[in-house]
Structure 1
Amino acid sequence: MFQHLMPNSKISLVGVPFDAKSSFLTGSSEGPHAIRQTLFSGVSNLYSEIGVDLDNVDGFRDLIDLKIDNSDDGYIQIEKEVAK
């Protein structure tokens, strides 16, 4: 699924919008959107803890969010999609 998008990638961001097994409140499925919104907002920066600027790293790719069912079958879908 992702090989054509990241032939030389060293760091890849893949969103997994999934909260089927959340204990009380749902909402973790909104996490990938919130992470990207923060990363690319201009308010934060893309420097890592060790000083690497991810905005200037050729191997960094922001891939897509996985399209998965928000059910128990979602676990199987996640494993299959990430393994591709």
Structure 2
Amino acid sequence: MFQHLMPNSKISLVGVPFDAKSSFLTGSSEGPHAIRQTLFSGVSNLYSEIGVDLDNVDGFKDLIDLKIDNSDDGYIQIEKEVAEELSD
């Protein structure tokens, strides 16, 4: 799904909007959007704790959110997509 976006990447950010198994409160599926909204808002920066600016690193890619069903089938989709990324 994302191979064309990251031929030489070392670090990939992938959102997994999923909360089908939340026992009480739902909403964690909106976490990836909230993280990106803050991360790329200008209020924060992309410097790591060791001083690497991820905004200027060729190996950093934001691969957006996985398009998954928020159901038990979502687990299978997550495993498949992540396995694809790790195999490259």
Q: TM-score, normalised by structure 2?
A: 0.90
Please provide the CA RMSD for this pair.
0.7
Partners of 2:28 and 2:66 in 1: how far apart?
A: 14
Partners of 1:42 and 1:64 in 2: how far apart?
A: 18
- Report the identity percentage: 99
Partners of 2:23 and 2:52 in 1: how far apart?
A: 35
Which blocks of at least 5 consecutive residues in structure 2 are unaligned?
84-88
- Structure 1 residue 81, shift from structure 2 partner: 1.3
- Structure 1 residue 49, shift from structure 2 partner: 1.1
Q: How many pairs were matched up?
A: 83
Partners of 1:53 and 1:36 in 2: how far apart?
A: 16
Q: TM-score, normalised by structure 1?
A: 0.94
**1:5-63 deviation digits (Å, cap 9, x = unpaired):** 10010110011000001121001100110110011000001111111111111110001
Structure 1 runs (4+) deviating above 6 angstroms are none
